[in-house]
């Protein structure tokens, strides 16, 4: 079996913290992931708000 490397710091993965080497790296990865998620749906939310305009109701 090949030893997997932590995606954050490239150290050998610890089974208890897989797929990371430590709880710290797990949190770092989670933080990165959330930052990306926040960046993507912003445009979607704005579009959704624009579609829900009250123009249809007034006419």
Binding site for Zn ion (CB under 5 A): 6, 8-9, 11, 21, 25
State the nearest-atom distance from the C-beta of 1 to Zn ion, in Å.
19
Q: What is the DSSP letter of 12?
A: B
* Torsion of Cα atoms, 13 then 17 then 23 then 27, to 10°: 90
Task: CB nearer to Zn ion: give 4 or 41.
Answer: 4
Closest CA to 31 of 4, 6, 8, 5: 8
Task: CB nearer to Zn ion: give 33 or 41.
Answer: 33
State the nearest-atom distance from the C-beta of 38 to Zn ion, in Å.
23
């Amino acid at each position: 079996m090949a030893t997997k490397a932590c995606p954050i710091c490239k150290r050998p993965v610890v089974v208890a913290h897989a797929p990371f080497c430590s709880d710290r790296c797990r949190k770092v990865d989670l933080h990165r992931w959330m930052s990306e998620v926040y960046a993507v749906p912003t445009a979607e939310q704005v579009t959704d708000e624009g579609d829900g305009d009250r123009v249809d109701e007034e006419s």
